[in-house]
Each structure stands twice: as C-alpha cells, then as structure tokens.
Structure 1
Amino acid sequence: MSRLAVFGGTPAVPREMRHVRWPVVTDADRAAVLRVLDSDIMVSNAPGETAVLELERRWAQRVEVAHCVGVSNGTDALSLALAALGVGPGDEVIVPALSFIATALGPLHQMAVPVFADIDPVTFNLDPADVERRITPRTAAIVVVHLHGLPADMDALGALADRHGLAIVEDAAQAHGATLRGRPVGGLGKVGAFSIQVTKNLPTCGEGGLVTTDDAEIAGRIRQSRQFGEVIAPGRPRDYLSERFGWNAKLNPIQAAFTTSQLDRFDEYEKLRQANIVPFLDRLAALPGFHVPFAPADRTHAWHVLRFRIDLPAAGMDGGRPGAVRDALCRLLRAEGVPAGQYQRIPLPQQRVFLDREGFGRGYPWAIAGTPVQDVDFPVAEQVIADSLVLQKRHLHPDSGPLLQRYADAFEKVWEHRDLVRSMAAS
C-alpha cells in the first residue's frame, strides 16, 4: 500500500504539474484585443461594426438561434432575460435549490420571488416533479440550470411549462457547447443566458455574458435594456431617449474580441477536453462507492465542474457522516496535489439573503403578494452537498490529459486507505 503524502509519502501529482493556467491565452487572443485598442471602438454602442456585434453573430450561429445580445456578465444576462419576458413585482420564478447564487438573484433583481425546487440526485438538475408542485397562480417562469455542464431534462420541463403557460429561461452559464439530442443548450427554452466570465469553458478576459433567443421582440427589449432603455443600432445616431426601463449592462468590445478569438478554438478544445476527461472518469468509476458524473446517451456534457458523490456503505465506510468523510478525502487528496473541494456549502434557500428576506428593504419583493414562508429543507440538494466533492477549472485546459491521469493515481492511492478516511471522519 502506497504511503500517503500527508504522512510523508511522495505526492501522486508532482508540484511542477500542479499550476494550470486557464484560459489559454495565445498570440491570436492578444492580437484580437490590440485590434480593438487600435480601432478606437471601445464601447458596444459605437457607430458601425464592433467586436460585440461579431461575437453576437458568431454565438447565435453556434447556438442555432436567430439572436444573441452581449451583456456585462452572466447575472445581468439572467436579469435582462427575465425583464424582457415581463417578469416583475408579484411574480414567482422557480429555480433549483442547487446552483450558483446568481440563478436566484436574477428573479430578485426583477422584484420577483425566487421559489426553490429540489434536484435530481444523479444529474443534479431540476426535478420536474418537484417543480410542478411548486407552481402557483403567481408563477411566471422557470429558470432551468444546466448545472456543471449537463443539459437538464428539457422534455419534461418544457412540457410542464407549456401546460402551465410558463416561460423557460436556460441558465447555461456552465454549459457552453453542451447538447441535447444534437441541439445546443441556450436554444432550447424561450431565452438562454450564458456567462463568459474568465473561468468558463468559453471565457473572456474578465466578465461578460450572452443572451440567446429566437424571438426578435425579446432580443430587441434586451438590447434596449442593456443601454439605458435606448434604441442603439449600427448607422443610427444616438438620440439619448430612453424608451423603456434600462440598465448600463453593455459588453465591452475588448472582452468580446477576446471571446471571439477563444471561440475560434472552442470546438478543438472541447474535443480534447472530452478525450481527456472521459478516461479519467472511467478510472474513478472503478473505485468502490465512488460515483462519477456522466452524460446520458441523448446529451453531451460540457464538464465545467466535475462533481463526485460518495456512497458510504458501498465504499465500506458505513456509519460515517457524509460531510466528515468528504472533508477527510479532500484533505488527503490535496496533500497528493489534487485541488478537491466542496464548492456550494449550503442549498440556495438557506443563504442569508433568502432567509432574511430583506431584499429591497421592508421585505420586498416577498411582501408584495404576501408570499408565505417557503421550504428551506431540500433533502436531495442537502444530501448531494454533504456527500460530494468537486474539481474545477484545471481540467478545462486542452492539455490536461496527463494531469488528470495523475489525479486518478491520487484518487486510487487515497481509496486504498479508506479505513484511514473513516477514522479521520469519525474523529
């Protein structure tokens, strides 16, 4: 049995392999940014062709929709999408109990109440049955998150939305390039919202977001709303007249140019990513009691985050507390050079911002419709958080194959010492 690094053994992952830069920045990316700097067209509402327009066309084509609107970040993408759908005070929007907090802040920014639904224990996406029981006469929309890069069950959720006359907004912030039966996410609902923040599979050099839709009217509203409610169009002089309520949520052309350059390599990187990650997951799937993420036959997974669940009885660690076992595993894996962590620590409805209901002050928006106190206990989301650990970002690099094989070595090494893990967790 190999000696663990935490006790002085040789780490499975050599130190020289541990630093992995993401995104990969090339001379082509630098040249794209310099072209914008040299052009003097540094805002998205400049007259004529801008880097933002080019990215919008390219991403709309990639997602197979008619329209794409570049915005300042993924959170604004969600907020503007909901605003364009007419979601507002007194409305409810169903969101998953497990997601990044922006998913639930988007409705709140519209003075709508986020209503949480539990998730599926295997896909980590919305459970359609739990969604249906949360629908009320005030429900206006469902925000469907393709969590970690796996498309949600859009057939069941779409049928549910159609029966109740609800709009679906896809939160595809982690799912660039993922497909359901050959159709890209972001074009499966009424509106799609993407983040291109620097950590994402399709990154910019900072913050940014993209909104996708086939509806020209919705796209027009979002274009207005991102620019103070004004009508901004190429070749049309700016009149500084606000036609609707708006924000200042524009995407910078420098960021757009960087992302467009990244998009030139996106399919190549995605192909390499699949080739690197699948063999890694195959090795980990052989470990007793260790459940790896997977892609059902009808969809592809973008693998933005890799979440692993631990079945304690199957792993021979009966009676242990899931969170304590996870923490012990993370400690041992980090000593071996694997940056394992927890990511979300509590379900979204247990975040203080939703428990305190301060919102915009004096309890709004909850006070508008007299919204009753909602559930804070979501057993599936809570169990998934308790018994899972994640890997982030480093596996996105197209050359990460050798590193992931070293990670697999580390997992296998630690798994040989499950008795130690159990005793560490107990203490």
Structure 2
Amino acid sequence: MTIQQPVQPAVDLAMFGGGRAVPRELRIKPWPMVTEQDEQAVHRVLRSGRFTSASSGEQEIAELEREWAQHVGTEHCVAVSNGTAALSVALSAVGVGPGDEVIVPALSFIGSATAPLHLMAVPVFVDIDPATFNLDPAALEVAITSRTKAIVVVHLHGLPADLDRITAIAARHGVAVVEDAAQAHGARYQGRAVGSIGAVNTFSLNVSKNLATCGEGGLITTDDADVATRATMLRQFGELIPANGERSYVAHLLGWNCKPNAMQAAFTRSRLTRFPAEAAVREENVRRLLGRLAAYPGFLVPEVPQDRTHAWHILRFRVKPADFGLADEFAGPLRAVVQRALRAEGVPAAPYQLQPLPAQRVFTEQRGFGAYPWALPGVAARPYRAEDFPATLRVLDDSFTLQKAHLHPESGPLLARYADAFEKVWQHRDALAAVATTTAYRPHWERASEIADAEWATAFSDR
C-alpha cells in the first residue's frame, strides 16, 4: 500500500521569502471618505459664523441631535466634544459621584474606565464573555455591591452585549445601565438600536469610527428629559444657554467645557445621510470575508447571535491551537507567529489593547486625584490584578484584529486579498506551528509594562 504524503504548498510564505498575497499597490482606502457634500457642509458653517453650541442661533448641532435621536429612536440627544466626555457627562447626569462604584468590562478602550474616575467614582472591573468579547453577565452579578451606581455596558467592536440579562440584573439592584456604543453605531439588539436601551447612552464620533466627524465628537442619548437637561448643562459650565437670545452666564451646577463644534456636527450630519447605505455594503463585504475564513478551522471568526446585528467596527480573530496540531499552551506563541505571517503577506493584523484595563497603571498604582477616589471614606480596598480576569487574558493572548481596512465601502477587493492571505497561512500551518513551538514568547500584558516604563522614562528624562 502506498502512503500518500501531504501536498506541500506551492508558494512560500512571504515571511519565508515568498511573494505577498496582498499586492503593495492595493492599499487601505482613507477613512472617513470626504465628499464634496461633506466639504459644503463645513463651508456652510464657516459662512454662518456660528461655531459652537454657545452661539446664539446655531443650527447644525441642534439638527444633529434631532437627527441622531430619530435614527436611534430616543427622545433626546445631547452632543458633546468627544466620546469620553460623553461618557463622563452621561454618568454624572444619572447621579454618579465621589465614592460610587461603576462597573466596567475588563476589555475596552481606557476611556470606558477613566470616565468614572474623572467623577471620583471607583471603577470595578468584570471579566468578558470570550465568544462576544463583551461584559459577562454572570461576572456582573457578583460584582454589584451597595455602592454600585452604574454599569458601563460596552458594545465592543460593534457587537451588542447581552442587554436582556444585564438590564434584568441592573433592575434587581436599582443600578443605572449606561450603554457605551462608541464602536457600535447602527447595531441592533432584538430589533432596537443600541444606544436606546440604557438609562443614558453614549457614542463617539472620533475620526476612526463608523459614523465619524472630521476630528472628535460625542453623542448622548436618553428618553429621560431630566437626564438630557442635566447633560446639556454639564457640557457647558452648568449653564442653560438658550437656542436664541441672551446668555445669562449663570452656572446652576458644576459643569465642564465639553461644547461640541458646529463644523464637526455639520460634517457628521452630511455623513449620516450616507450611513445606512455604507453600513449595508460593509455588512456584505465583511460577511464575504468571514465566509471564506470559515473554511479554515484554525481561525475563530466573530460570532453574531441571532438576536442582534454587528456594526463591524473592528474584526477580532482567535487562533485554535488544536487545529494547528498544537497543545493549548501554545495559543499565545501561535497567535504571535500567525499575526507575523499575515502582516508579511500584507494583512495589517494587530492587537487591540495590550492588557486588561485593570492592568493599566492608572489603576494598579491608583494614579487618580492623588490617592482618590480610593482613599474616600467607606471605599473598600480594591486591588487591580490582571490575573483576576482569565477570559480577558486568554482573548488578548490568542487573538488579533483588523481595524479600519474594511470600513470603506470599496474595500471588497482588498478584503478578498486578505482572505487569500489567510488561506495561504492556513496552507502553511504545519510550518508555522513548528515556529510557534520554538519561539520565545511573552504575553502582551507583560510587554506592555516594559513599554510603559520606557515611554515614561523617555518623556521625563533629563533634556
């Protein structure tokens, strides 16, 4: 009997000297794509001479607020200067203050956790569901205490969290749910738009987002008129500034200067007219990519439960060591080698966040307002340790992401080449597995501490 040997791939990986799967001339298209309509919107503001929400008679900001509230399906929308400001203002508007606890998922952008810190509230981290990358409701239940005031529910990468379970837990404990939909514009949960379900909700309009402005911006949505009024006051010195007429300059409460910019509001309004069509094309392009990758079992592609839709802001992929013929302990080294192979082929595979939020030194070293809020009376001692969040650590170890490349509606041909690169890498899985078993490896979160030390030393070295 003749034993048939495995067929060896005909083309070497680029990291081993072969050609790239993605031609160098095929580049990521700029995002956001700026059209003549967008430029005209900005020029309209320049001609008006009204540039902020404090300008009597300004219309662009008010119209963006009205249009986004209508799009999401809420009674009110308040525009602010950026997404992190939106979260701080929203938390303050529902009564979060010094010494309160705010629950935050361990995997997110740091703004999700520093927003409560800016209010002298204490962030309490919970682990994630490794399939959705969102807050794990089971971990949430045990984290709530008598001091818990709010839950920041991040819809990470554009996939809605399990809002049914989360809101039910919050209701039992009398805790406010605040949706952080910074990456999830247009996503839906059981037919409802994200940003319409919590007591108050926030979006970012950062230039990288699916619905972007020409810089920074943020939106707060709510059905509660009192919350909307407080948010409006908090964004501009605690004042109630009339849409038309004289400004009183009376500060009714302690506010910030988080006023939105009219030019950026006009730019976003222009983009909003194309947003649904762009989202539909993005859905087609991403689904086509994921359909091809599903044929290569060594890659876990994003899951989308049937009761929700994905905004596809970021695509996260996990590697499965067993399908590469490796033991589970090689998940991290395998991810690192696969990521390097994909990058050599022209796929911009990269991590999103190097460490869990509770491993950031602002928390581990309690770098708040001096020792506060942790030194406030009645605040329980709370060590922040990465090892307390095993699901987050595992996802960070065995996954990589694609960012920005798929946002443009004309990204289809580029994503097809990315799929070619994944196929090529899969065909060379035995060689990559061999490299993974002999590669010196340290997890992201260990290297992140060294990176932070080096950055700090450089920033404050003698000049």
The normalised TM-score by structure 1 is 0.98
Match runs of 1:231-250 below 5 Å:
231-250=240-259
2:183 corresponding residue in structure 1: 174
Residue 321 of structure 1 aligns to a residue whose secondary structure is helix
Q: Counterparts of 1:236 and 1:194 in 2: how far apart (Å)?
A: 30
Q: Counterparts of 1:160 and 1:374 in 2: how far apart (Å)?
A: 25
Q: Counterparts of 1:186 and 1:173 in 2: how far apart (Å)?
A: 10
Q: Counterparts of 1:319 and 1:227 in 2: how far apart (Å)?
A: 52
Output the amino acid matched with 2:99: G
Residue 250 of structure 2 aligns to a residue whose secondary structure is coil
Deviation at 1:292, TM superposition (A): 0.4
Q: Counterparts of 2:16 and 2:144 in 1: how far apart (Å)?
A: 53
Q: Which of 372, 383, 386 matches 1:364?
A: 372
1:412 corresponding residue in structure 2: 423
Deviation at 1:320, TM superposition (A): 5.0
Residue 15 of structure 1 aligns to a residue whose secondary structure is coil
Q: Which of 251, 266, 280 matches 1:257?
A: 266
Residue 287 of structure 1 aligns to a residue whose secondary structure is coil
Q: Counterparts of 1:370 and 1:246 in 2: how far apart (Å)?
A: 25
What do you get for the CA RMSD once the two structures are aligned?
1.1
Q: Which of 136, 139, 144 matches 2:148?
A: 139
Deviation at 1:370, TM superposition (A): 3.3
Output the amino acid matched with 1:6: M
2:14 corresponding residue in structure 1: 5
2:221 corresponding residue in structure 1: 212
Q: Does 1:66 align with 2:72?
A: no
* Identity across matched positions, percent: 59
Q: Counterparts of 2:248 and 2:263 in 1: how far apart (Å)?
A: 25
Q: Does 1:373 align with 2:398?
A: no
1:112 corresponding residue in structure 2: 121
Deviation at 1:314, TM superposition (A): 2.6
1:21 corresponding residue in structure 2: 30
Q: Flag the structure with larger Rg.
A: 2
Q: Which of 45, 49, 56 matches 1:40?
A: 49
Residue 421 of structure 2 aligns to a residue whose secondary structure is helix
Q: Counterparts of 1:367 and 1:318 in 2: how far apart (Å)?
A: 45
1:123 corresponding residue in structure 2: 132
2:89 corresponding residue in structure 1: 80
**The 10-residue stretch of structure 1 (179-188 or 287-296) with the greater mean CA deviation from structure 2:** 287-296
Q: Counterparts of 1:20 and 1:121 in 2: how far apart (Å)?
A: 31
Q: Deviations over 1:18-55 (max 9, x none)?
A: 23211111000011001101111111221114211111
Gapped regions of structure 1 (runs ≥ 5): none
Q: Counterparts of 1:109 and 1:135 in 2: how far apart (Å)?
A: 21
Q: Which of 342, 354, 360 matches 2:351?
A: 342
Q: Counterparts of 2:329 and 2:367 in 1: how far apart (Å)?
A: 38
Output the amino acid matched with 1:121: P
Q: Counterparts of 2:108 and 2:382 in 1: how far apart (Å)?
A: 21
Q: Counterparts of 1:74 and 1:169 in 2: how far apart (Å)?
A: 13
**The 10-residue stretch of structure 1 (41-50 or 101-110) with the greater mean CA deviation from structure 2:** 41-50
Q: Counterparts of 1:160 and 1:243 in 2: how far apart (Å)?
A: 34
8 Å Cα contact 2:359-2:384 kept in structure 1: no
Deviation at 1:112, TM superposition (A): 0.3
TM superposition outliers: structure 1 runs of 4+ over 6 Å: none
Q: Counterparts of 1:121 and 1:422 in 2: how far apart (Å)?
A: 23
Gapped regions of structure 2 (runs ≥ 5): 1-8, 440-463
2:196 corresponding residue in structure 1: 187
Output the amino acid matched with 1:405: A
Output the amino acid matched with 1:87: V
Match runs of 1:372-411 below 5 Å:
372-376=381-385, 377-411=388-422
Deviation at 1:323, TM superposition (A): 2.2
2:460 corresponding residue in structure 1: none
The normalised TM-score by structure 2 is 0.90
Q: Counterparts of 1:296 and 1:233 in 2: how far apart (Å)?
A: 44
Deviation at 1:375, TM superposition (A): 4.8
Q: Counterparts of 1:309 and 1:33 in 2: how far apart (Å)?
A: 41
Deviation at 1:90, TM superposition (A): 1.2
